[in-house]
Amino acid sequence: MSVSFDLFGTLVEAEYPENPAAAVGAELAARNVAVPDDWEDAYHEVHIDAPDGAEVPLPAHVNAALRSRDVDFRTGGDGHGNVVRRALVAAFDPEVTTREGAVEAVKAAADRGPVAILSNCSVPDLANRTLIRSDLYPPMFDCIMTSLGCGWRKPDARAFESVARMLDTPIEDLIHVGDDPATDGGATAAGATAVLLDDVPLTEFPDWLEAH
């Protein structure tokens, strides 16, 4: 038996910008990128034609949005082509609160077998930075997988299949714990077992795991 946990909204609560487009634009401008006047529109437009279920990395999306407005972002920041990534890291720099029962739930899962994070996240390094700021820490997990890392967003079955492969477990032996029926609930269609917090709160998960 292996267990994967959603991160955001399940193990932790993290505060993000109310207006991501504005936050990213401000961080780009701080790095001498000529942010276009219609940046809000550019940010929310689709610029990359990705397959259904695929994750579009936010740096690639922002790069494409700037190019759509003929902005040469390579002239900003340090001139080495990573100005967009640095701006995104700064824009999504969350304050993190560990949810009640999270540490105990992860430890209970680890007592039964491999444990992973499986979370939708398109921002580089955000999952690791979030864990470091919580009462959890990366070495508690055998695998930290985001949609950015595996290329697929939950509820796409390929996201759950990817984490199962990383944990070297058959998909039918994977339990996925999350808060969102629309995304985490996709574990069931993938052949895994979905455990949703509305049904089994984190504080009750160790007892639920013991019974199963």
Single pTM value for the model: 0.92
* Segment 151-169 mean pLDDT: 98
Cα distances (Å, whole numbers) of residue 3 to 7, 12, 119, 127, 173: 13, 17, 13, 17, 9
Q: What is the pLDDT of residue 120?
A: 98
The β-bridge partners of 98 are: 12
Instruction: Give the strand pairing for 2-5 and 115-119.
Output: parallel
Write out pLDDT tens, residues 13-71: 998 899 999 999 999 999 999 999 999 999 999 999 999 999 999 999 999 999 999 99
* Segment 145-158 mean pLDDT: 97
Q: Is the pLDDT of residue 78 over 60?
A: no
* Segment 100-129 mean pLDDT: 96
Q: What is the pLDDT of residue 209?
A: 96
Q: Is the pLDDT of residue 76 over 60?
A: no
202 pLDDT band (50/70/90 cuts)? Answer: very high
* Segment 189-202 mean pLDDT: 98
Q: What is the pLDDT of residue 82?
A: 84
Token couple for 166:
């990383």
* Segment 172-200 mean pLDDT: 98
Token couple for 55:
């994750």
Average pLDDT over all residues of the chain: 94
Q: Is the pLDDT of residue 80 over 70?
A: no
H-type alpha helices, 5-125: 20-30, 39-44, 58-68, 83-91, 102-110
Token look-up 């470091």 returns 132
Q: What is the pLDDT of residue 75?
A: 52
- Closest by CA to 84, choosing from 132, 142, 123, is 123
* Segment 78-90 mean pLDDT: 79
Region of residue 81 (left: phi > 0; alpha: psi -120 to 50; beta: else): left
Contact 162, 97 (CB under 8 A): no
Q: Which DSSP string corresponds to 2-28?
A: EEEE-TBTTTEEEE--SSHHHHHHHHH
Cα distances (Å, whole numbers) of residue 128 to 119, 133, 181: 11, 9, 24
